Amino acid sequence: MDIPNNRRKNRYQNMKKQTLSIIPILLIAVFLYSFKKFIIDEKHANPINELDARIERKVDSVLALMDVNEKVGQLVQYSGKWNATGPSSSKGDQYKLDKLKKGEVGSMLNITSVATIRETQKIVMDHSRLKIPLVFAYDVIHGYKTIFPIPLGESASWDLDLIKKTASIAAKETAASGINWTFAPMIDVSRDARWGRIMEGAGEDPYLNSVIGVARIQGFQGDDLAQLNTIAACAKHFAGYGFAEAGRDYNTVNIGEYELHNTILPPFKAAAKAGVATFMNSFNEIDGIPSTGNKMLQRDVLKGDWGWNGLVVSDWGSIGEMEAHGYAIDKKHASEIALNAGSDMDMESYAYEAHLETLLTENKITMAQLDDAVKRVLRLKFELGLFDDPYKYCDEEREKNDVYTKEHLAIARDGAKKSIVLLKNETELLPLSKNIKSIAVIGPLADNKDAPLGNWRAKGTYNSAVSLLEGVKSTVGKNTKIYYEKGADLTIPTVKPGDNQFSHPLKFNDRDTSGISAAVEAAKKAEVVLLAIGEDAYQTGEGRSQTNIGFLGVQQQLLEAIYKVNKNIVIVLMNGRPMDISWASNHVPSILECWFLGSESGNAMADVLFGDYNPSGKLPVSFPHNVGQEPLYYNQKNTGRPYNLKHVTYSGYIDTPKTALYPFGFGLSYTTFEYKNLKLDKNDMPKNGNIKVSVEVSNIGTRDGEEVIQLYIRDLVGSLTRPVKELKGFKKTMIKAGETKTIHFIINAEMLQFYTVNKKWEVEPGDFNLWVGGDSNATLKASFMVTE
């Protein structure tokens, strides 16, 4: 049907007006969609490193100038010979010097002074064609020169602000010394006390590892890596290293896909989301694939699903070690596997520099893969500001003034006292009066000024810690009589002071009991005995796995001999792993878990022993009745035959309890906290909703104290079996004597998600239990339901 011209014209005009009126709305809609798509959605897909376009342009411009040798060189990391943290390098100094001059080295580690770093950087800047600066790395694990508690010990503080602060001080001292990259934090979930590197992380729980790991990353990196007092952090070891079979370092890991995603990967995902600058892969294999060559972990999950744009560095020599694994024919094959899998930088394997160019010509790796790895190195250097000033970290005045200061030592003391856990105080022997008439300070660790520094002590000076004996002497009144006896040597010295952990073989004193008699006489004369026993600093750390986690040497004999003459014993335990202290726990009235507390150890111990600080630490790991329970952890599965006294057969032991001697989250105080009136604002929630939880916590004792209020949840039925309970939140708060505080938590979908049988993170509807209390054995309980 034809439409008359005037009607057609009018219709056109109306349509035009309607269209014009809609255009602004359409433009707004397009803008909102674009904003969501490219900002919100993109941010969700790429939660870290919202890339600065200016830096990316600079990265691309440098990359365009590089030849293949220079590109490969950026993926090479050498160690200086001055303080190696691994097996000796196979390459000599002249070889390294020549490569530096050619600009074919991307990073150096273990060079630790401004003068030496400036000299090394100058070689590159004076001789190389493109003058791409080096990034300098070092293992700053729990302090640089000012040493804080070992990470496992500091994790016992459950104080995220403190942990962030100590990491920031470590960064300040490290940066002042010329270094701009640390290989920390270790965020491996670790459940086996036999594993020596358990000392380096936050223990057995994925959530606790996640939040503590993020706090350390934020402390190291601050808000801007270009700032002078910050350094690049490194989330390690990706992944599964803490699950080494039999607790033996570097050993095989046997876990399934769901255990990997639900237990091991969450701390790493949190680190990626927090913007950690680098990742380190791990020595172990998972299900037959070495982590260094694991494409699923590095390319698919880390760089793919998580959209992370940082740098992946191998662990020391781990690319070459794929040959020993039986996964690679030789180093050339190992290089092919590693780069294809997403391992960007080769630490001390000398594999990439020898083979990547050939692999490129043979089409076994692609230029796109090589360029991607190089861009990640260049990006880090731009973010650190090294292209603007290669010598920005090389300031001798800062090195002189910003390292090992009184301010830093004061924070070290604060961190140390907050990391102490009171395990037992049966007769309220503690706190001691400063005017006590007499004290015997006994034990191989009582006047030891080196062991409290722990392993992985960076540039901590040998014999620089405050000893327990020194701390006691500086605290008690002038009329207190102090009797000191060593009692026994824990180890027989085999190396000179200052040697690192890899040149420190341990030989234990298991025969010489000649000092015990003098210690017994001292104990007879004293009102109270402070018995400092535990481990040598080098019993834990890399390559320090043990099958015996009790008191080695003649320490048990010393303990029992003193107990016969004086029952008023306070064990001051120094160690880097959960120990078998079952005999001591059954007999001795008071036990303080003091870990290796760092530079201010003795002063911090005295603060707690004499009541200047009310202990608030909580265990980040379960302590076993004996080593046969290992691996031991609170968030285990129920099994088809859970513990039940009515059943003859169940998933337990006939010779020891199934439960821990001291459970995860446990720690006493000099006061008493009471939990009551646990309430939920509703008893059911949709999958994407929330529930508000409140609980009243009262200090019913006579001293002010800090309590760590812990929230645990159990998903009763799932598409996969779920743990009996999981830590999902905690709050550390000061509660004055006689005071009651109402503590609040919000349960949301993120808390309840897990990696389900559908191979994705989701909340499954059903029934849930929750507990709130002072440790993982909390009994104050409520229930709720999640609906569709």
Active site residues: 315
| Residue where the block lists tokens 């950087």 | 121
| Residue where the block lists tokens 């300040």 | 172
Instruction: Determine contact, residues 652/629, Cβ cutoff 8 Å.
Output: no
- Residue 623 CB-half CA count within 13 A: 25
Single out the residue of 393, 383, 379, 384 nearest to residue 62, CA to CA.
379
Cα–Cα distance, 610 to 471 (Å, whole number):
10
Buried-state track 565-601, b at ≥16 Cβ within 10 A, e below 16: ebebbbbbbbbbbbbbbeebbeebbbbbbbbbbbbbb
Please measure the distance between the N-terminal and C-terminal CA atoms of the chain and give it in whole angstroms.
54
- Give the ranges where 384-466 is alpha helix by DSSP (H): 396-401, 406-419
Q: What are phi and psi of 633, to 5 degrees?
A: -160, 150
Single out the residue of 198, 187, 149, 185 nearest to residue 593, CA to CA.
149
Instruction: Determine contact, residues 181/232, Cβ cutoff 8 Å.
Output: yes
Give the pair of three-digit tokens for residue 684: 């059911």
Instruction: Determine contact, residues 487/529, Cβ cutoff 8 Å.
Output: no
| Distance set, CA 87 to CA 78, 179, 414 (Å) | 12, 22, 36
- Give the ranges where 160-291 is alpha helix by DSSP (H): 160-176, 206-221, 257-259, 266-273
Single out the residue of 523, 519, 552 nearest to residue 535, CA to CA.
552
Instruction: Determine contact, residues 718/766, Cβ cutoff 8 Å.
Output: yes
Cα–Cα distance, 710 to 726 (Å, whole number):
10
CA torsion, points 243, 762, 213, 386, in degrees to nearest 10?
A: 110
| Residue where the block lists tokens 């050939």 | 358
Going by the DSSP 8-state scheme, the letter that residue 83 receives in this structure is T
Q: For the purposes of burial, counting CB atoms within 10 Å of the CB of 17, is it exposed (0-12), middle (13-18) or buried (19 or more)?
A: exposed
Cα–Cα distance, 559 to 240 (Å, whole number):
38
* Residues contacting 575, CB < 8 A, separation 6+: 534, 535, 539, 540, 593, 595, 596
Going by the DSSP 8-state scheme, the letter that residue 611 receives in this structure is T
E-strand ranges in 356-497 read: 421-425, 438-442, 481-485
- Residue 747 CB-half CA count within 13 A: 32
Classify strands 740-748 and 690-699 as parallel, antiparallel or unpaired: antiparallel
Rounded to the nearest 10 degrees, what angle do helices 516-525 and 555-565 cross at? 30
